[in-house]
Structure 1
Amino acid sequence: MRKFYISFFAILLSIIMSASVFATSLNDAKKELDEISKNIKETKNELNEVKEEQDNVRKQLDEIEKELEAKEKELATVEKKLAQTQAELDNVRQELAETEEELLKTQERLEQLKTELDEATRKAEEQEQLNAERLRAMYMNSTSSYLKLLLEAKSLNDLLNRIDMIIQMVTYDQQVFDKMVEYRNEVEEKTFACARQEEQITQIKNEIENKKVLLEQKEKEIKDTKNKIKKQKAAIEAAQNEKEALLNQLSEEEAKVRRELEQMEKESKELEKLIKELTKKSQSSNPPNKNGYVWPAPGYTHITSPFGYRVHPITKQYKMHKGIDISGSDISNKPAVAAADGTVILSQYYGTYGYCVIIDHGGGISTLYAHGWSTTVSAGQKVKRGDTVLKIGSTGSSTGPHLHFEVRKNGEPVNPLNYVSP
């Protein structure tokens, strides 16, 4: 930039000195400007590289974003499954607790039944012993003993008493027998109940063992699932960190591009200032043009980008387009002609304009022809309307062969279509 200012003031100094040394001074300054132009061209290439790098970073960010979304969906699914497994595990634990409680109650009932069985067995044995003794006594006394007992009665009242006693004895014997049968039945029932309780206990124990196995399986499943979630979260966090790093890198690259663009804008403003100064100096020897203007690209009338605000095709920024772009399928290397008579005040490679020619037509009006492959005139040269000044090309900040044409009034861009028409 320091070299630019040196060359800029050198140009102004040469203009002030005299018209005779005007072209020579510009040619001397051309070397300095060429050096600046090379730097600008390198900056443009760097800008394109940054743009490509930005595109690559954006693609990487898109891929990471998709991967992150997939991981988040997968994690949500696993967490849902984990919640379901945890609920199932809680149910198994509850069932296991209930089963163990039922087993405890069943074991208590079994112990109670065994106690009752022992008591029933004891009573049955005692009753059988008593019944055996009564049978033995009845056998020893035989049935005649009851008859003899009645015949030995001394009175009617004694007879009735003896009959009542015999009835009580028979009733007692029957009760002893019935009690023995009852105790035997109770022993059988208690024995069956104990066997059934023991069978139920065995079944409950098997259920407990099965539930314990299921519980262990569920616990292992939860442990494996948690480990899987942990790994997935680690992968997501790594992707997020990578994304943040890429975003930081992208921000740095964007800042760099913005600085480059600001520098280019500064060069454009310096060009406007230069045009104003050169135009002001040349007005004294070049009166306002009276011959009208011609189309600067003979045979090519297609305007690809008009005058006014637009999205820049390279920088992608919404900014002012200070001229019109004229293009055609075979326009490369075709001549760009002077729109009117005038004096060439700049003919060189000029930054983002590439090879550029500026003609002063007097009255504060100048025209600019940019992006050529080469220029065909020199600074200080007089040209006539229709003279070739440039070979149309694609140098500087350009996406393809075309002619960038500007009309400036007192250095400020105006709509070229107010002066020329296809």
Structure 2
Amino acid sequence: MADPLNIALAGLGTVGAGVVRLLADNGDLIARRAGRAIRVVAVSARDRTRDRGIDLSGIDWVDDTAALAEHSGVDAVVEVVGGSDGPALALARRTIAAGRSLVTANKAMIAHHGMDLAAAAEAGGVALKYEAAVAGGIPVIKGLREGAAANRFAHVYGILNGTCNHILSVMEKEGRSFADVLAEAQALGYAEADPAFDIDGVDAAHKLAILASLAFGTAIDFDAIETVGVRHVVEADIAEAAALGFRIRLVGVAGMDAGGLFQRVHPHLVPHDHPLAHVSGSLNAVVAQGDAVGRLFFEGRGAGAGPTASAVVADLIDLARGASGPVLSMPAETLERAAVADAGAREGRAYLRFAVADRPGVLAEIAAAMRDAGVSIESLIQRGTMPDGSVVVAMVTHRGREACVTDALGRLRGSASLTGQPMWMPILED
């Protein structure tokens, strides 16, 4: 058997400790599959004294994280520190500059700096791998970049954040408020103390930017993603969606057409007969539509020690085998930033929810705004109340241009009949 692949590991939190544990527990199996052993020879983390439940004997401890890049005898560096900039980015750049391959689970860093890092890695003849950056243990990066590489993709979309999916699933099952379920998730450790990156859709947008680049052969363009999270979804939305035959999921959607690249993260109404409607709890799922292979559906655990460590080690096995190729779907120098598609030109059905004063004429005012904007109403329900006592009016539109819905909401802006901000959600169609 060939000499071991020696790695340095930055970060010994949940994922980093999971990598060490997985390499120890399945070391013989991994070595047989990789054709050589994979061995951790150096680590770096904030606290030397913390008991992580793993054996670090015989492994060098390096206080300066970035110094792992030049540590003696290291073939590759694994970065699971996190963060788009700071120590993670410094380590990534230094590792590539030192002529060593990098494996990362850092979706924020790839979404913001992936193009520069990919170009540097390809110029330096080293690998940059990031399977764990999107959807945890689900092999969606390999699926798009390798298994379905012969396909043109019409679209790629999915449930990309387990925290949001957990919250929506509990609201759906138990009829509880968003704030109540979020507080419980934080107490149980399912959500961060500051949950903004998750509940405002930023985490999902990082992942979508990477998936869109892989699917459509374009430069990563995180800044072009329209991002709306789930913090304004209320119990009435969950109930009305169910009554109409839908479930609410935070979905990231990307598609390419003659108008350019469309990227959006937004709560959607998902029909009960769609596979994503049945992705519950903290699971993630990705759907890709290829011209030759048809619909691909990937589902699994999108976070946690085991799934994420599994993806990291899968990338290390690729390195041990000598697997190479462009970092993204094509060489970085060939990837161009796509034109940004006009969201208003998209056609589809929509869900609209209004909190309104309980008085005559309100429905007529809403209907008139829809009529004047060219929005056709398929169904309308007026029932239930918001916490402030206002009445809930929910509707589903017929298929039409999003610009018309935007126009209708603009016509109602500032109306004394509305007691709160309307909620708009597209209905997922595929």
What interval of TM-score do these two structures reach, taking the shorter chain for normalisation? under 0.3
Rg (Cα) greater in structure: 1
Query: More helix per residue: 1 or 2?
Result: 1
TM-score when normalising by structure 1: 0.23
TM-score when normalising by structure 2: 0.22
